[in-house]
Amino acid sequence: MYKIAVLVGSLRKESFSRKIAENVVTLFPEGYETVFVDIGNLQLYNQDYDDEDRAPEEYNIFRNKMRNIDAVLFVTPEYNRTMPAVLKNALDVGSRPYGSSVWDGKPALIISQSPGSISGFGANHHLRQSLTFLNMPVVQQPEVYIGDSVSLLDESGKITDDETIQYLQSAVDAFVDLIKRYKA
């Protein structure tokens, strides 16, 4: 059984990113367990916490949870042409203290979305850049940018467009292949 953490870059209760993530997790085959991991409760990273051995309990809970994860699905909007601060903060908290990164070697899939037509391109690439530094192998193809996310979701939050579902399935399939290569 592989355990996949799902990190959503939006904290809104009606988040399009969360709704898309909820659709994507249904596409994983048997043997893959998905777990949504809360990142909204993490205080802004401050190295003094680790240097002075007084990391907030939320840091310890998050780090321990992520150590027991095999791979990470990121689903994020774009804020000001980059990833949301909450997502960058989670990366920073998990990458410290230096030499103890919880991200090292964990396969990742990035899905960016936007109600507009740019589809979270900037967020996707900035996140990809950070994950490269954190030594996380990332699904290269297909790249997943979802534009006009508002019209993709019905009133219950389900994606009803068959082409989009097939596209997301191809991304999940590529992710599963990447996980098998790195975790076998």
Distance CA 136, CA 109 (A): 10
Whose tokens are 């095999």? That residue is 70
**Sequence spans of domains, the chain:** 2-183
pLDDT per position as a tens digit, 134-159: 999 999 999 999 999 989 999 999 99
Question: Structure tokens of 170?
Answer: 């191809």
pLDDT per position as a tens digit, 78-137: 999 999 999 999 999 999 999 999 999 999 999 999 998 888 999 999 999 999 999 999
> pTM for this structure?
0.97
Amino acid at 141: Q
* CATH assignment of 2-183, among 3.30.429.10, 2.40.420.20, 3.40.140.10, 3.40.50.360: 3.40.50.360
Distance CA 126, CA 148 (A): 21
